[in-house]
Structure 1
Amino acid sequence: MAKRPFKFRLLELCTDEEPHWNNDLVNQVAKEYGAENNKFMKETLNFDLIELAAFGFLQDIEQKVDDEGVWLKGALLHKYVITDYGKARAQDACLGPDIGLKKKREAGEI
């Protein structure tokens, strides 16, 4: 099966409407694409996240310094959540068809 473009996959991972740290998203996608040890690929994926936030698909909701070295010791980690605009564009691209359904189920709306 063909793999999705990187930005599509990153956005798809965020359609669960939960907040995600950039290092977790990058590591997951890098692993899926067989690039766990490819620093250039991970930096490219991280830049893709920055672009998705710049386009308004994701919102940067929290930052912290990587004191533990989970990404790069001393670097800034970002926590992202999908925006309403990002949800709409994800649906347009047939990503994450259950966007919002989890919250509606929990609220008893469906």
Structure 2
Amino acid sequence: MTQLTKQQRTEFEAAAFRTLVEHLRRRTDVQNIDLMNLGGFCRNCLSNWYQDAANEAGVELSKSEAREIVYGMPYGEWKDRYQTEASDEQKAAFARSHPDH
């Protein structure tokens, strides 16, 4: 296995994250509940992790600022444009896979 420097690893992880975020911005047809049901995380989780990382580094970043970074627009705007009502099937799948949510 190729040995990466710490700097390379950080750069490659950051590039992968940016690619994932751009992919999710393009795939507005994929709802957060679908991501949660299939992968156990969603855009909001990514924004929370981003906020946590910033705050741990001493950078105050609000939840809304972190969400705008991930969504590419204010969260409310994204919801108005792209979020649909979850189906009964989606809600049931979420309840089964995330009973503590």
Shorter-chain TM-score above 0.5: no
State the TM-score, normalized to the length of structure 2.
Answer: 0.31
Q: Which has the higher strand share?
A: 1
Which structure has the bigger radius of gyration? 2
Structure with bigger helix share is 2
